[in-house]
Structure 1
Amino acid sequence: MRNSLREKIIDVCDKKVAQKGTNVGLSFYAFFANKNDDPELLMEAANWWIITHKLDHFEKAIKIKNLVQTGQ
């Protein structure tokens, strides 16, 4: 995963947890604007989420942040 995506995921997870608490869930779409302006980055995130980790559509933000920070 490229560093820019890793940093973006951590930032979004931190913001969501700060806003809604440690139980907040999100999908990989949370890391992107409503319009698809970077399809390659979107597919990279989708591949990491769906293929690599076989995650559910919604997962806890703290779980996602932990996976990203540990380099998984």
Structure 2
Amino acid sequence: MRAELRAKVIEVCDKKIASKGENVGLSFYAFFANKNDNPALLMEAATWWIQTHQLDHFVKAKTIKQMVEQGL
């Protein structure tokens, strides 16, 4: 996962956890605006989420943040 996406994931997870609590879940779409302005980055996130880690549609933000920080 490129550094730009890694930073965005951590930032979004931190914001979601701060506003909705430790148990908030999210999907990889949470890292992008409703407007698909960067399809390559969206596909990278989708590939990481779906193919690489076979995650469910919604996963706890704290779990995703930990995975990204660990370089998974």
Q: In the alignment, which residue of structure 2 is the partner of 1:56?
A: 56
Q: CA RMSD in A?
A: 0.3
Structure 1: stretches of 5+ with no match in the other structure: none
| TM-score, reference length from structure 1 | 0.99
Q: Distance in 2 between matches of 1:60 and 1:70?
A: 16
The runs of at least 4 consecutive aligned structure 1 residues that moved more than 2 Å come to none
Matched AA of 2:31: F
Count of paired positions = 72
| TM-score, reference length from structure 2 | 0.99
Q: Distance in 1 between matches of 2:59 and 2:7?
A: 18
Equivalent pairs: percent with the same residue? 71
Query: How many Å apart are 1:47 and its aligned residue?
Result: 0.1
| Alignment of 1:5 onto 2:9 | no
